[in-house]
C-alpha cells in the first residue's frame, strides 16, 4: 500500500468514525463526491487547502490526517477503531466476532 492509499484510508476511517457519509463530507468540504471517493482510495493528490478542508469537516487537527502508524499505540484511538470495526460488522457476523474476541482475550 502506498502513502496516498494510507492517507486516503486514514481520511475514510476518520470520516466513518464520526458517523459521516461521503456525501456529508463532500458537502462540508465543497469537494465533489467523485473526487472525495478518489482521495479515499488513494487515487488523487489533494492540495494543502483540501487537507485543511478535511480537517475542518472532520473536526480534527490537520496533522491527524497524516497520523497513520501512531494510532496503534494510543488506547483511546484503538477503542475508536475497534468500535468502528464492530459497527461495520453485519448482523450475521456478530456471534463469530464475539467468539474471536473471547479466544483472543484468554
Task: Give the residue-averaged pLDDT of 76-98.
Answer: 85
**pLDDT of 82 over the 90 cut:** no
pLDDT score at 105: 86
Statement to judge: residues 43 and 93 lie in one domain: no
Q: What is the DSSP letter of 60?
A: S
Statement to judge: residues 61 and 86 lie in one domain: no
For residue 23, give the nearest of 36, 7, 38, 10 by alpha carbon: 36
Which residue has better confidence, 85 or 7? 7
Rounded Cα–Cα distance for residues 100 and 96 (Å): 6
Domain count, the chain: 2
Percent of the chain at pLDDT > 90 equals 48
For residue 44, give the nearest of 60, 32, 56 by alpha carbon: 32
Domain holding 38, by residue range, is 1-68
Question: What pTM does this model have?
Answer: 0.64
For residue 4, give the nearest of 30, 12, 103, 70 by alpha carbon: 12
Statement to judge: residues 12 and 37 lie in one domain: yes
Amino acid at each position: 500500500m502506498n502513502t496516498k492509499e494510507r492517507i486516503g484510508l486514514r481520511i475514510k476511517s476518520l470520516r466513518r468514525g464520526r458517523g459521516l457519509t461521503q456525501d456529508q463530507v463532500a458537502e462540508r468540504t465543497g469537494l465533489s463526491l467523485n473526487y472525495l471517493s478518489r482521495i479515499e482510495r488513494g487515487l488523487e493528490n489533494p492540495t494543502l487547502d483540501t487537507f485543511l478542508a478535511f480537517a475542518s469537516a472532520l473536526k480534527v487537527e490537520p496533522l491527524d490526517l497524516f497520523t497513520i502508524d501512531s494510532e496503534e499505540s494510543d488506547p483511546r484511538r484503538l477503542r475508536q477503531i475497534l468500535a468502528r470495526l464492530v459497527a461495520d460488522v453485519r448482523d450475521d457476523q456478530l456471534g463469530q466476532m464475539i467468539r474471536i474476541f473471547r479466544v483472543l482475550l484468554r
